Amino acid sequence: MGGWLRRIAIALLIGVVGLAVWGCAGTSMRDVQVYSPVPTEPFGKFLVVGIHENGRTRRLFENAFVAELDKQGVEGVQSYKSIYEERAITLPNVERAVRETGADAVITVRAVEVDIQPQNRPMQRDTLSFDLGSSDPNRRLLPHRDQVSLQINVFKSATREIVISATSRSVRPDSVEEIGREACQATVEALAREHLLRRR
């Protein structure tokens, strides 16, 4: 991994860990990956997709990301404005929303079961279709365990390929909303530090 890629990974790790620990003792990021090649052009408009069975939590995820992007002078659009029901969050509907909004990047944030990724996961290049349509039981949308993870993925719209992935180590289900705010703030700040945001 090149020096600048390492800096992105470290920046994301420090930012998300620091804010998560501040908000909820014992919460940290266990996996932050930056996928190469990183886009040469920064992103100017994000479609934010909160993937959760609870509409209130989904809207909180999406609103929090849009607010943080706005602070950086970057446009964000909540998916709930065009995809009204949680069960309608499918790849075709997200792709339609991307076209309608003109978003050049997609952010997904979800609560998943705590063992979503094995240690030393290879740097495979997941796509938006895998993130939204996976049959992997560890990626199901209704975690039932006492502890879950928050996973945030950033995709380039044109290729649907993942750019950045960050996953929390452990979150209590009743703290998902609180940590969601903090995790999205850390993610957007890290993107800004690494010049991956194109301001208006």
Q: Which CATH number characterizes residue 80's domain? A: 3.30.160
Position 72, amino acid: Q
Residue 121 vs residues 124, 165, 192: alpha-carbon distances, Å: 8, 12, 26
* Mean pLDDT for the chain overall: 75
Q: Is residue 198 a part of any domain in this protein?
A: no
- Contact 121/68 with Cβ under 8 angstroms? no
How many domains, in total, are found in the chain? 1
- Please give the structure tokens belonging to residue 6: 């390492």
DSSP per residue over 9-65, as a string? HHHHHHHHHHHHHHHSTT--EEEEEEPSSPPSSPB-EEEEEEE-SSHHHHHHHHHHH
Q: Is residue 117 a part of any domain in this protein?
A: yes
| C-alpha–C-alpha distance, residues 56 and 163, integer Å | 27
- Please give the structure tokens belonging to residue 96: 């339609």
Q: Is residue 33 a part of any domain in this protein?
A: yes
- Contact 184/65 with Cβ under 8 angstroms? yes
Q: Is residue 84 a part of any domain in this protein?
A: yes
pLDDT in tens, the chain (200 residues): 454 444 444 444 444 433 333 334 444 455 667 788 888 899 999 999 998 888 888 998 899 899 999 999 999 999 999 999 988 999 999 999 999 999 999 999 888 765 544 444 445 567 787 677 655 545 544 445 677 778 889 999 999 998 888 777 666 767 777 777 777 777 887 788 778 899 98
Q: Is residue 199 a part of any domain in this protein?
A: no
Q: Is residue 189 a part of any domain in this protein?
A: yes
Q: Is residue 145 a part of any domain in this protein?
A: yes
Domain of 137 in residue numbering reads as: 3-193
Q: Is residue 101 a part of any domain in this protein?
A: yes
| C-alpha–C-alpha distance, residues 6 and 32, integer Å | 11
- Contact 10/4 with Cβ under 8 angstroms? no
pTM of the model: 0.74
